[in-house]
Structure 1
């Protein structure tokens, strides 16, 4: 099925890791998996999860200010704790925590009120389910102790196919609930590395989802049935093939950790964002609310700061596609969908000139996005089929953005680039 057009047009999404792990501020699910925290202590966080100040409309307003077009909430992480009143098992915040209510319905409603697309995260794996550690990956990856962790593999290596079948019934039942009740525009799966595609019965699960809502976007952790790639925490040097999304934390943690104050600056986030969309991807920027449901001020400030930059440069963000390949401009770039306006991002204040190589299409006009100031431009050199260098006058100091300055090049026709090696 072709990618839903809203996804590549969205550019920015907000990832929200919200769950009981915020009570003690420990790594989400991984804290007991790795032994950092005993499992019984981890699960005692259920008693402290109140969601007492949980206000999805406040979240949605913040996401809109950030410039996002969608948000993804952790409906159930690897710890198995569901944020809704599931009929499959009883490990959910409705029955087992002081929050005492479904947290997803109001979240989805608040997003849709602000015209944001609804994404829900769901982990294939559940390290708390009694039937999960019942089979062994036929070719386990060499990380995370997938072939030895007691929460993943059966005791003494003896498989139990009947237990695994029960687990899949549970997993399929919860996913069906999410799709039928909340009609998410996107399902963001995780945990896929712990089993093979055949063991997960991925084709059957995809058919189940799409039979209910054929427009559901699925991420790459649905393996061969995923619609887009999901690199994580590191900007790729080369863009993945097809649609993709970089998921990135604002600080160093996915969920709330009161000890983590290593927040990326607004300038860093602008650079991550500009480079990601310049390579044709989306940025999925993660925040970790406190257990009461409030987003910390440092994280909110950074989302708002990024959103201020996006709003000032919206012409170079929305309605664009990937820009120039490496080597033509020293910075990120995007291109209008009609191919007639090229947007150059300069992360440092331009000095004297901004240069563009290999531009065959004549430039009609250059201006600074945000201020509208027009800049002079000329070209020099060139021989036969090799175009000359395009030189753009540096903007005045008052037109330079503190994080990244964007120049709009209005072209006399669709973009045409020279990609050769010159006359040799």
Structure 2
């Protein structure tokens, strides 16, 4: 699927929250929590991804005859919906039309549809009928753009008549879907893009998106609409990452089951049932949904391996589904307890923990912040009662061994749930998986109880970090933390036993030689090092740090070939050889993103450069994060910098950075001033980048 639409959440626009009471017709969405996506179309026949027509520069004349090979002989809408229902999903989103423009319904707007293919079938009709027979909510995916129209490449300025025709077709096709196929519960837009324009409000105007959505709500008053028409609408849709929108706004993370949205031969690296459950629980804890994609084979058959994974998830949901369905975001679960990640409903707290199932030695678990009197504690899957003791805000659970292969869920039942009482001390917070400013990693400490624990920190590049160390002792006590090469000792006084306490050491200047940490119980008591987390501290280099120039000519024009991008990224332009000869344009302090379409030429085509200067007091290694739309390279003092991107991807397009998710890179700074040069090439929607540098003592960013 990929991110063709400018993503409002990622770009930092202010989105209005949508409360549960805002539209009662949407309550089912939060109740469901789990949905199933299905990508199936002509692209499935080629097995090279749903973007194959664009990525390989296949013309409509060469691509469209695939319709006469599209038999859908094994496509069974009832089987597809049954797979979703057995997984515990409450709704399905079926791709009615992807960016290639092939419609899986009897569209009167174009003959390029499934009823005029070899299949001679209306797959959307079969799907919507099957959903209703199974009692699942009906969702439809509709690509707003279509590669059948040259205007999507040329843009509205160069092809105004073609652009109007494409927009009119999109509006007419949506009217067909929302008029002739009964109640449609959810509309999943994608592909709302305009060449060279990345600002959502401008893109929305070109597509008449306000008018489009007004029509949708007139035809289907209860419909829930996502945010990919470049308007916020009802809910946010982070793709393949957990980026949580503001509290009160509905959201849904969509993710592939394997590595591709559409069928590819050999796409066998499927997510495990437990990993999907973990993602689902995390979404539910933050009042969000999980939309898991399946990719039927060219014949329409659901791959057995994909169905098997979802069936395992369904077995867990059958026993534990009430721990995620209809859950609500609550301040009680802002931190990760020893008892596991917590979800909540009006009268229950649910603790999810895989360790219960794998470690038979775990007997007692302490939970803090429980101010309301408990009625009972039970293992959700079995109904087994768990003995507990409640003392003030602390609850201690006495567990029997568990034998589930997946996460065990313990339910704490109340007459009602009061706001969480403050815990005895800060708990270890779970990493949210945000793209930036940092992605932390939580590591298990040494197993077993001891009076002293030592371990190594993986410091490869010096910089500033925060360190969290989580300990659990049988009784209250005092602990000291020492880090080799860092002056001073950190102390932690715990206030209760059998409960995780976190010692936080902030803004540590760590070098490659400061690798050993030691934590000691001052009274010699035994304790467990439950986990530790080392998080680098990143500083955003915003627009005011940079000056820009461009565009410089490139052979690439949408939809060009990656080889053309590689040629442009390999061409040496004046800013790389003689930056002083170039007229650089300083940028105003205007947000975290450097957008060439806003500050540069009106023509986003071509290669742009951005230049910044960082002063270092000495020669040192340094880390950077760079995300972009869509291709970029970084040079430090004229030397190209490689990233963690795969070499095979770099060989295709000549770029070490590609996509919105910032990639990490390392380089050596010299003493004195250092020139950072970012070389960017426009992508499908715009031309911009974001840049972060690891905070390190003595580094100074010289404003342009």
* TM-score range for the pair, normalised by the shorter chain length: 0.7 to 0.9
1:416 maps onto 2:419 in alignment: yes
Residue among 309, 319, 329 paired with 1:322:
329
Q: How far 1:101 moved relative to its partner? A: 1.7
Aligned residue number for residue 247 of structure 1: 254
Q: How far 1:332 moved relative to its partner? A: 2.4
User: Quick one: distance in 1 between partners of 2:422 and 2:162?
Assistant: 57
The 1:372–1:31 alpha-carbon spacing in structure 2 relative to 1, beyond 3 Å, is same
Q: How far 1:167 moved relative to its partner? A: 1.5
Residue among 379, 403, 406 paired with 2:406:
403
Q: What SS does the corresponding residue of 2:84 show, helix, strand or coil? A: helix
Q: How far 1:421 moved relative to its partner? A: 8.1
Q: Contact (CA 8 Å) 1:12, 1:284: kept in 2 or not? A: yes
User: Quick one: distance in 2 between partners of 1:353 and 1:38?
Assistant: 64
Q: Deviations over 1:175-219 (max 9, x none)?
A: 100100113111100012436111111111111111111111101
Q: How far 1:320 moved relative to its partner? A: 2.9
**Comparing 99-108 with 349-358, which one deviates more in the overlay?**
349-358
Computing the radius of gyration over CA atoms, which structure comes out larger, 1 or 2? 2
1:74 maps onto 2:95 in alignment: yes
Aligned residue number for residue 377 of structure 1: 388
Aligned residue number for residue 356 of structure 1: 367
Aligned residue number for residue 280 of structure 1: 287
Q: What SS does the corresponding residue of 1:127 show, helix, strand or coil? A: coil
Greater strand content: 2
Aligned residue number for residue 152 of structure 1: none
User: Quick one: distance in 1 between partners of 2:367 and 2:244?
Assistant: 21
Q: Deviations over 1:220-278 (max 9, x none)?
A: 11333521111111223676651111111111111111121111111111111121112
Q: Contact (CA 8 Å) 1:134, 1:163: kept in 2 or not? A: no
Aligned residue number for residue 654 of structure 2: none
1:289 maps onto 2:309 in alignment: no
Q: What SS does the corresponding residue of 1:409 show, helix, strand or coil? A: strand
Q: Contact (CA 8 Å) 1:46, 1:93: kept in 2 or not? A: yes
User: Quick one: distance in 1 between partners of 2:247 and 2:269?
Assistant: 28
Q: Deviations over 1:272-325 (max 9, x none)?
A: 112111221111110000121110000000111100000011232334323543
1:23 maps onto 2:34 in alignment: no
User: Quick one: distance in 1 between partners of 2:366 and 2:304?
Assistant: 39
Q: Deviations over 1:366-418 (max 9, x none)?
A: 110011111122245xxxxxx543221233234xx211000010124323202
TM-score by length of 1: 0.86
Aligned residue number for residue 66 of structure 2: 45
Aligned residue number for residue 395 of structure 2: 390
Q: Contact (CA 8 Å) 2:364, 2:399: kept in 1 or not? A: yes
Greater helix content: 1
Aligned residue number for residue 346 of structure 1: 353
The within-5 A match list for 1:134-173 is 134-135=154-155, 159-173=158-172
User: Quick one: distance in 1 between partners of 2:207 and 2:310?
Assistant: 36
1:310 maps onto 2:330 in alignment: no
Aligned residue number for residue 189 of structure 1: 189
Residue among 78, 96, 112 paired with 2:132:
112
Aligned residue number for residue 264 of structure 1: 271
State how many pairs are aligned: 391
TM-score by length of 2: 0.53
Instruction: Name stretches of at least 5 consecutive residues in structure 2 with no aligned partner.
Output: 1-21, 198-202, 427-492, 494-704
The 1:225–1:304 alpha-carbon spacing in structure 2 relative to 1, beyond 3 Å, is same
Q: Contact (CA 8 Å) 2:149, 2:162: kept in 1 or not? A: no
Structure with greater contact order relative to length (CA < 8 Å, sep ≥ 6)? 1
Q: Deviations over 1:124-159 (max 9, x none)?
A: 1111224433426xxxxxxxxxxxxxxxxxxxxx52
Q: What SS does the corresponding residue of 1:111 show, helix, strand or coil? A: helix
Q: Please, what is the CA RMSD of the aligned residues?
A: 2.4
User: Quick one: distance in 1 between partners of 2:411 and 2:423?
Assistant: 25
